[in-house]
Amino acid sequence: MSFTHGRTVLLEAASSGSSAFTIYLDKLGVRNGVIDLAPQGASGPHYRFEAADVDAEIAIKPAGLEAELTNLRTRIAAPGMPLADLYAALSYGSAEGPAKVRINALRLTTQASAVSITGIIRNVQTLGSDVAITIDKLAASDLSTIVPNYPLRKDIKGRISLKGTANADMGKAGLK
């Protein structure tokens, strides 16, 4: 089945001849979208994602999901947090072995801070990972907004490496 403007959805019967199908969305795009997220309902906190641009590819297979988020750009407004811009490029796969996430780029910036994350979570269930967090600058002013009673009064810079699982994580930090 094919649609105009280069958007294609393909359905393929599984080779076993069963009624299982694979669904491919080879181009999924959102431009200037707005998402209002209220995980605890109307009376709870609201998280707003503004001016969201998304480019992605998705394959829903009998064995699991494969997704490639090639571009996500948005501005985030959240209670108790400074306004932040988010850029992300990542992939998720669960069709071959344990579910995993590859973080090609994840960058969160405010007017005063910039933090980046890259790496892989090899097993989402155990959080088996090899991840690097680069703190170009984490401003004390942003931290005091998030955790008002925390005594930190200086900006932080550095790098944090995390390897292992949630139960046996090895972390290494070089912070200034």
Give yes or no: residues 109 and 172 share one domain: yes
Give yes or no: residues 110 and 176 share one domain: yes
**Six-digit token pair at 143?**
């931290």
Contact 70, 90 (CB under 8 A): no
Give yes or no: residues 119 and 59 share one domain: no
Give yes or no: residues 118 and 53 share one domain: no
Number of domains in the chain: 2
Distance CA 133, CA 148 (A): 23
Helix locations, 18-152, DSSP H: 140-146
Give yes or no: residues 62 and 7 share one domain: yes
> How big is the chain, counted in residues?
176
Is 82 within a domain? Answer: no
Closest by alpha carbon to 56, among 79, 96, 33, 88?
A: 88
**Six-digit token pair at 85?**
């811009």
Q: What are the tens digits of pLDDT across the range 13-68?
A: 444 445 478 888 889 899 999 999 999 998 999 999 999 999 999 999 888 999 99
pLDDT, residue 150, reads 77
Range of the domain at 66: 1-71
Give yes or no: residues 103 and 170 share one domain: yes
Specify the DSSP class assigned to residue 116.
E
Q: What are the tens digits of pLDDT across the range 86-129?
A: 999 999 999 888 999 999 999 999 999 999 999 999 999 888 89
| pLDDT range class, residue 1, cuts 50, 70, 90 | very low
pLDDT, residue 54, reads 93
Give yes or no: residues 66 and 109 share one domain: no
Widest pairwise Cα distance in the chain = 64
Give yes or no: residues 113 and 162 share one domain: yes
pTM of the predicted model as reported, rounded to 2 decimal places = 0.79
Give yes or no: residues 5 and 53 share one domain: yes
